[in-house]
Structure 1
């Protein structure tokens, strides 16, 4: 449980652990309306596509931009784990990018609750994320920036 009192439910832990192994592109978590637990954003998560077999930068960028468009419709903070596939030699690598989507336009209470609770998610499940990015504005973090950050962490 976070200092804020927000708990990470078993369903969320299980989903995060399975995300590490499956071929889905992303998983989004938010604080439930009751402000007592984290929950999956089922509407956003149902849009998560399968990762392609090969690395196609145009497709990667298209998928990411479609994902960002969906995320922009969210009215409260989210913690999102997003997979970026890259190729080094003949080997494909999936890097998990943790995006802390907490826009300046959200109300102060929601932002404070999110920031005081996000550590609960990070400590409840070791996502082994390679990169963490804080997003405060809808125009922050274009695909090229995410890709450059991932490539620097190799």
Structure 2
């Protein structure tokens, strides 16, 4: 085979190689990432607590989930404080204020739990609000807080 013959054969392969590469590239799966869904956190409202008929005990706490969101809820309930009067305090979990953790799985709508918490002497007000802690540690609080004088 002469040099010219070899060169001509290789020259004919170039268009074929180019076409083959374009075909392979067009068959390869396209990278089209699906965007991660937005984190939707729960929406919660504080409901009215009930006191026992005989007095001296908080029987039930109520809260209402408007939305559960799409991030799993680890814990939810009521953070509360007994106070000498209805002074506003920063009710957050992990502080010096106790929590009433609900045991049942959260559901849209009304959620209630019985606690039977004794009212301490010398205190005349109860301030409380609902919270929901999601996976990752973020805490959502109800926009409303309830203050009751007893």
TM superposition score normalised by structure 2: 0.26
**Structure number with bigger Rg:** 2
TM superposition score normalised by structure 1: 0.25
Instruction: Give the number of the structure whose residues are more often helix, by fraction.
Output: 1
